[in-house]
Amino acid sequence: HHFSDPAEVEALRGNLLAWYDRCKRDLPWRTLAATEPDADRRGYAVWVSEVMLQQTQVATVIDYYNRWMQKWPTLQALAQASLEEVNELWAGLGYYSRGKRLQEAARKVVSELDGHMPRTAEALQKLLPGVGRYTAGAIASISYGQATGVVDGNVIRVLCRLRCIGADSSSPAVIDRLWDMANALVDRSRPGDFNQALMELGATVCVPKAPLCGECPVKQHCRARRRKLFGKPAPVPDVEDCGECVGDCPLCPPATEPWDSSLGVTNFPRKAAKKQPRAMRAATCVLERRGCGGKPEYLIVQRPSSGLLAGLWEFPSLPLAQDLQEEKEREVLADHLQAWMGQPVAAKGLQFIGEVIHIFSHIHQTYVVYSLPLDGDVTLDPASPSRWVTEEEFHASAVSTAMKKVL
């Protein structure tokens, strides 16, 4: 499975980089990383882009990235932002703790590292909270030219196909080997471009379902493709180089799940069956009043500063047991609303609207949505974070995508 022939490694690097130079997408953080003379700013820009790109498509990220860099062009500017501002800009990107952690880490760089970014993957990972192995490798290679590899979902797919790695690609043992491979493979003179090229290949050519092998710049190095075309595994040229390929190989597909010819190269990578997301239910109530000029206004309240969706605003909500009767649901929701409003709420006044389903990273959340139109004035508890907003203000607030669906 390893890249044991130096001439092949050189050829692969050359082919991949030539393709990248021809076909790479123009992305704002790439331009900045290539042209910005200030090293800290280069590192900061790549860091922001990498955090935004985790779990989010490039096309969505571009606009968020541009707005972020306009608002906070430097680490120093970000360090002075409030969490509220960060959440507001982040709203809609999902996985909100990413923005919060980025801002906390920026504060640390400014207060403890004199405003300077660490320059190696090891130091970045060690000194910056929330920066894992992947992000550290990306910043160090792209911004500072360190010859260090990266492994993300795209790289896992490409390497597993290039080298017919069919063992569970989410297992720590396989991931460790892929890191070794990425580190060995990375181009010594253009590490940042090489890493981006490998990821870009996975994002645009070696895609999960129908890879475009015919257009692939590294197809002649691809064992999965060879296996598909010639119907048998590549011969092991020198067993001494690859002792593990004899018998129980930790990187081969398990004997119980051999090559499936109908899948072709998409036999790789393989993953152990995913855990089902946890199902959760919550009741939520859209309280509505007439504001100035008769415009409707809605009550939003702030979530605690830790845990899921920390610090975001939402309609008053509370988790429900899975098998609660509807009548009981109304009662617990009415009690909950009373705590926010400081006055009794009649359960039968709550109007059931429907259900909204939203998938968070590992949670399958159902919101049972009620509404309650209010006539008189309501005194809100000043000690609890809550406010009335118009529809426009609601959309400009730090609210989750799920709450936008609820509205």
What are the residue numbers of the active site? 50
Under DSSP, the state recorded for 362 is: S
Stretch that binds ligand SF4, among 105-113, 157-165, 183-191, 300-308 (CB under 6 A): 157-165
Q: Which stretch binds ligand SF4 (CB under 6 A): 26-34, 45-53, 114-122, 156-164?
A: 156-164
Residue list 224-283, contact with ligand SF4 (CB under 6 A)? 224-225, 265
Pick between residue 94 and residue 269 the one whose CB is nearest to ligand SF4: 269
1 binds ligand SF4 (CB under 6 A): no
Concatenate the DSSP letters of all residues of 12-68 into one string: HHHHHHHHHHHH----HHHHHHHH---HHHHHHHHHHHHHHHTTS-HHHHHHHHHHH
Nearer to ligand SF4, 141 or 267 (CB): 267
For residue 343, give every residue at least 6 positions away whose Cβ sits within 8 Å of its Cβ, in sequence order, or none: 378, 379
When the beta carbons of 1 and 100 are compared against ligand SF4, the nearer one is: 1
CB of 253 to ligand SF4, least distance (A): 15
The CB-of-224 to ligand SF4 minimum distance in angstroms stands at 5
Q: How many helices (H) and strands (E) are present in the chain, helices listed first?
A: 16, 7
Strands 278-290 and 363-373, bridge-based pairing:
parallel
Nearest approach in angstroms of CB 13 to ligand SF4 is 14
| Tokens 């998409």 sit on residue | 266
Q: With binding defined as CB under 6 A, does residue 199 bind ligand SF4?
A: no
Q: Name residues whose C-beta falls within 8 Å of residue 259's C-beta, 6 or more positions apart in sequence.
A: 166, 227, 233, 253, 267
**Do residues 195 and 152 make contact, with C-beta atoms less than 8 angstroms apart?**
no
Q: How far is CA 186 from CA 95, 327, 381, in A?
A: 30, 61, 58
| Residue 130, amino acid | G
Write down the least CB distance from residue 317 to ligand SF4, Å: 44
- Contact string (CB under 6 A) for ligand SF4, positions 105-144, x = contact: ----------------------------------------
Question: Which one of 1, 161, 190, 330 is in contact with ligand SF4 (CB under 6 A)?
Answer: 161
Which residue's CB is nearer to ligand SF4, number 53 or number 156?
156
d(CA 148, CA 146): 6
Concatenate the DSSP letters of all residues of 193-258 into one string. Answer: HHHHHHHHHHHHTS-SSS--GGG-TTGGG-HHHHHHHHSSPPP-S-GGGGGGGSSS-TTSPPTTS-
Q: How far is the CB of 180 from ligand SF4 (least distance, A)?
A: 19
Report residue 402 as tokens: 């799920």
* 206 in contact with ligand SF4 (CB under 6 A): yes
Nearer to ligand SF4, 75 or 158 (CB): 158
In the complex with ligand SF4, the residue whose CB is nearer, 203 or 285, is: 203
Segment near ligand SF4 (CB under 6 A), from 113-121, 158-166, 378-386, 398-406?
158-166
Radius of gyration of the chain measured on its C-alpha atoms: 26
Nearer to ligand SF4, 158 or 286 (CB): 158
- Nearest approach in angstroms of CB 257 to ligand SF4 is 19
Which element (helix H / strand E) includes 321? none
CB of 226 to ligand SF4, least distance (A): 9
Rounded to whole angstroms, the Cα distance separating 218 from 155 reads 13
210-229: contacts with ligand SF4 (CB under 6 A): 211, 213, 216, 218-219, 222, 224-225
Residue identified by tokens 């010819």 is 261
* Under 8 Å between Cβ of 402 and 356: yes
Please state the closest distance from residue 195 (CB atom) to ligand SF4, in A: 16
Roughly what angle, to the nearest 10 degrees, separates helices 133-144 and 39-53? 140
Residue 162 makes contact with ligand SF4 by CB under 6 A: yes
Establish if 345 lies at the interface with ligand SF4 (CB under 6 A): no
Biggest CA pair distance of the chain: 84
Q: Which is nearer to ligand SF4, 267 or 302 (CB)?
A: 267
- Judged by CB under 6 A, the number of residues near ligand SF4 is 14
In the complex, the residues that contact ligand SF4 under the rule CB under 6 A are 158, 161-162, 205-206, 211, 213, 216, 218-219, 222, 224-225, 265
